[in-house]
């Protein structure tokens, strides 16, 4: 730590001393500091106060937005008709990247037309039982408290107590409903994944506890994750001894390069693979839900076959 006060703070008739200290771990965060004027009107023996202004960033809880699909209110017959009637050859491109982008963009536009959705804001600091009704109730309670504290009127204090009791009831009910839902899920579900997800909520460590301690290697202390990862990697690598027979040559000159130039995929294979998709998994980078793919498996199978087949250009030219 660093002492940032360097001027004397205590004065007598014949001496002056620095008896006040201000210790900081990061001097760069200090905006201004110094010794102030004495409070009392004394010119012989007096003590001056010290002051320090620090620059502190208030941590902001990270939030993110995500589109949530309302699959219970979808119109899959309409989606199947649109996907089946669309000319997917118009999305074809000799380069796989634009071909994939156009196909994904087109399919997502069809989903926006047939499946309702909304954009939801997720706050990582909120517990799972926290919802908008609780947030609104707590906001009303806070406003009522501020108003009652400013005016100190009996009517506003009564209103605040009423909103406080209401918010407490809403919070208790939300917690109990979340516990009941979790208990019902664990009792009725035969999937062990649900059990281990629940166990993870109670056994998972905080983010700070995942950081490893500084490592001592060859007399040097390493604190960054990059240096610690390299040290551990080198240590593990040094413990591996590969026993290679004398007649085996691992040089790259004898490596045989093989490539897959062409392969065939049938529409039935694509449909079978789509039907095997698990609906409970998160979407990938394309944001296409596996639940939607399973519902339109027969209609989307042909475009996907052209996308993943090695001879898709020949098929499109022949059709």
pLDDT tens track for 158-175: 999 999 999 999 999 999
pLDDT of 302 higher than 50: yes
CA distance 130 to 123: 10
Please say which residue of 185, 203, 221 terminates a domain.
Answer: 203
Residues 137, 118 within the same domain: no
pLDDT of residue 175: 92
How many separate domains does the chain show? 3
Residues 160, 177 within the same domain: yes
Is 252 a member of any domain?
A: no
Average pLDDT over residues 88-96: 85
**Closest-CA residue to 167 (of 146, 144, 125, 136):** 136
97 pLDDT tier (thresholds 50, 70, 90): confident
Q: Which domain holds residue 41?
A: 2-54
pLDDT tens-digit map of 239-283: 776 666 666 665 555 555 666 566 678 889 999 999 998 887 778
pLDDT tens-digit map of 8-49: 888 888 888 888 888 888 888 888 888 888 777 777 788 888
83 pLDDT tier (thresholds 50, 70, 90): very high
Is 255 a member of any domain?
A: no
In 10 A of CB 171, how many CB atoms? Answer: 17
DSSP designation for 30: E
Residue 219 backbone zone (phi > 0: left; psi -120 to 50: alpha; other: beta):
left
Mean pLDDT lowest among 2-11, 117-126, 208-217: 208-217
318 pLDDT tier (thresholds 50, 70, 90): very low
Please say which residue of 181, 203, 225 terminates a domain.
Answer: 203
């Amino acid at each position: 730590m660093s002492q940032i006060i360097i001027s004397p703070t205590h004065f007598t008739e014949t001496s002056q001393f620095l008896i006040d200290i201000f210790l900081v771990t990061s001097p760069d965060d200090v905006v201004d500091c110094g010794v102030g004027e004495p409070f009392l009107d004394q010119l012989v023996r007096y003590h001056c106060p010290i002051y320090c202004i620090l620059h502190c960033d208030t941590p902001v809880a990270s939030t993110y937005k995500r589109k949530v699909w309302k699959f219970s209110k979808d119109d899959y017959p309409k989606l199947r008709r649109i996907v089946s009637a669309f000319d997917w050859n118009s999305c074809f491109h000799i380069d796989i990247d634009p071909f994939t982008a156009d196909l994904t963009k087109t399919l997502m536009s069809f989903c926006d037309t047939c499946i309702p959705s909304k954009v939801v804001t997720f706050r990582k600091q909120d517990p799972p039982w926290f919802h908008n009704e609780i947030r609104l109730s707590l906001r009303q309670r806070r406003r009522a408290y501020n108003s009652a504290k400013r005016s100190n009127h009996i009517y506003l204090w009564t209103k605040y107590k009423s909103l406080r009791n209401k918010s407490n009831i809403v919070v208790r009910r939300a917690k109990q409903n979340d516990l009941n839902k979790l208990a019902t899920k664990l009792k009725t579900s035969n999937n062990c994944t649900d059990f281990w997800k629940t166990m993870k909520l109670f056994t998972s460590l905080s983010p700070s506890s995942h950081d490893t301690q500084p490592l001592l290697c060859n007399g040097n202390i390493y604190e960054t994750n990059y240096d610690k990862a390299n040290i551990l990697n080198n240590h593990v690598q040094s413990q591996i001894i590969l026993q290679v027979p004398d007649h085996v040559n691992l040089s790259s000159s004898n490596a045989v390069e093989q490539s897959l130039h062409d392969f065939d995929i049938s529409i039935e294979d694509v449909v079978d693979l789509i039907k095997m998709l698990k609906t409970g998994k998160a979407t990938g980078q394309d944001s296409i839900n596996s639940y939607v793919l399973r519902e339109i498996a027969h209609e989307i199978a042909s475009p996907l076959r052209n996308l993943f087949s090695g001879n898709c250009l020949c098929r499109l030219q022949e059709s």
